[in-house]
Structure 1
Amino acid sequence: MPRVSEQHLSARRRQILEAARRCFVRDGFHQTSMQDVVKEAGLSVGAVYRYFPSKNDLITAIAQAVVGTADENFADLSTADPPLPLTDVLERALTFVDAQLGPDGVLPLALQVWSEAQRDPVLAEFVAATYTRLRGHFVTAARRARDAGELPPEADPAAVGAALFGLVPGYFTQRILTGSPDRATYLAGARTLLR
């Protein structure tokens, strides 16, 4: 029997994850069954279960994909040379968020992941570790801003970074739930607060 290439395995995995994402966006985690994902992917039951033995495995894999791109993006913001002003860090983070809010974006699933994490200890541990790591990028940006003189010397980078990071999910939660405010309006308010 011929050996299946790593490229083929990776493409199949992406196909299943994309099918699951469509199902979850359309019907929610609890209303989506593994059979729904199998049907959406157009694959056999065995093919889907080979990659993802449970729905929780699919949810975690989708969450990891979202986090991977956010982690790279936020790491770049926190290590830019020269250090970015904190309002620029926020603006660029929200630009990334906007790209993930559309019909092919993955942030609408974030609210479902948060909800699911309240009842699934494994997912809760993943979410806590993830948000701690993402917040760390904003803490680094705040430390660098303080060292560059943008913040007073007594400013606590952990406190500033936590508050700045909190503005990101605050923005996308409002956008998902109410459709507003737009990025320019939100940034104008944030800039006023950050003066």
Structure 2
Amino acid sequence: MPVPRLTDARRDLRRTQIIEAAVRCFSRRGLDQTSIADITAESGLSAGSIYAHYRNKADLLQAVARAVLDRHAATLSAYAAESPPPNPDELLARLVTTIDPAYARVGVQTWGAATTDPALREIVTGMVARLRDLLLTCVAAWLSRVGNGDPAEAGPIVERLMVAYQAQLLRAALQDAEPSAPDRGKPDPP
């Protein structure tokens, strides 16, 4: 009896399920300590199912990076299409509210690993360049629509936005996802 093929929609759903499980595992255990077996257990799928979609952990990490960037692309494209688009301060505030701490932890780990892994460095530099381009489109649209701005001035504004956003990602990554029960409600130490 032939094995039924997955539809494109079902395949996309399965990939999303695997990516989300990988993010949870990478966030909790770290990139190096997470195994495909961990992701298999977290996703509830078989190892064969995961390998049917991703060749190895590195391939899966690339898919996670693309998924994060695709979310940013959709968000920024929607912002650029608004009339008028959000100003840079509002744009940064909106982006910060969309930060998922688990994805931030995986992102920061990926940045660190990229300093010694050429394949990850390529992914990270590509992601940063694409995010910069998306922000540039959004800021240039804002500058051209507010009537008093030159879209050519978008570059320096985007560089400041990138630094501020990456700092917020790092901040989110370093925050505990769930403080232990005894620490809840206690003020931060001075």
Range into which the TM-score falls when normalised by the shorter chain:
0.7 to 0.9
Between the aligned residues of both structures, percent identity stands at 29
The aligned counterpart of 1:122 is 119
Letter in 1 for 2:6: S
The aligned counterpart of 1:5 is 6
Q: Aligned partners of 1:42, 1:165: CA distance in 2, in Å?
A: 37
Question: Alignment partner for residue 85 of structure 2, among 83, 86, 90?
Answer: 83
Q: Aligned partners of 1:22, 1:114: CA distance in 2, in Å?
A: 17
Following TM superposition, by how much is the alpha carbon of 1:61 offset from its aligned partner in structure 2, in angstroms? Answer: 0.9
Q: Aligned partners of 2:151, 2:85: CA distance in 1, in Å?
A: 19
Task: Kindly report which structure 2 residues correspond to 1:98-177, keeping only aligned pairs within 5 A, or say none.
Answer: 100-101=100-101, 105-147=102-144, 148-149=146-147, 151=149, 156-177=153-174
Checking the alignment, whether the CA contact within 8 Å between 2:105 and 2:174 is kept in structure 1 is no
Classify 1:30/1:82 alpha carbon distance in 2 versus 1 (closer, same or farther; 3 Å).
same
**Deviations 1:160-185, CA, capped at 9 Å, x for gaps:** 11112221111221233257xxxxxx
The aligned counterpart of 2:28 is 26
Q: Aligned partners of 2:91, 2:18: CA distance in 1, in Å?
A: 34
Checking the alignment, whether the CA contact within 8 Å between 1:78 and 1:89 is kept in structure 2 is no
**Deviations 1:137-169, CA, capped at 9 Å, x for gaps:** 322343344443555x59732111111222111
Give the TM-score normalised by the residue count of structure 1: 0.75
Equivalences, count: 173
Following TM superposition, by how much is the alpha carbon of 1:92 offset from its aligned partner in structure 2, in angstroms? Answer: 1.6
Runs (4+) of structure 1 exceeding 4 A deviation are: none
Following TM superposition, by how much is the alpha carbon of 1:37 offset from its aligned partner in structure 2, in angstroms? Answer: 2.1
The aligned counterpart of 2:16 is 14
Letter in 2 for 1:117: A
Q: Aligned partners of 2:151, 2:54: CA distance in 1, in Å?
A: 49
Q: Aligned partners of 1:36, 1:176: CA distance in 2, in Å?
A: 21
Letter in 2 for 1:114: W
**Deviations 1:24-68, CA, capped at 9 Å, x for gaps:** 111111011222223333333322222222110111111111111
Gaps of 5+ in 2: 177-190
Following TM superposition, by how much is the alpha carbon of 1:2 offset from its aligned partner in structure 2, in angstroms? Answer: 4.5
Following TM superposition, by how much is the alpha carbon of 1:119 offset from its aligned partner in structure 2, in angstroms? Answer: 2.7
How well do the aligned residues superpose, as a CA RMSD in angstroms?
Answer: 2.5
Letter in 2 for 1:120: D
Classify 1:24/1:156 alpha carbon distance in 2 versus 1 (closer, same or farther; 3 Å).
same
Gaps of 5+ in 1: 180-195
Task: Kindly report which structure 2 residues correspond to 1:28-43, keeping only aligned pairs within 5 A, or say none.
Answer: 28-43=30-45
Give the TM-score normalised by the residue count of structure 2: 0.77
Q: Aligned partners of 1:154, 1:69: CA distance in 2, in Å?
A: 24
Tell me the SS of whatever aligns to 1:106: helix
Classify 1:154/1:141 alpha carbon distance in 2 versus 1 (closer, same or farther; 3 Å).
closer
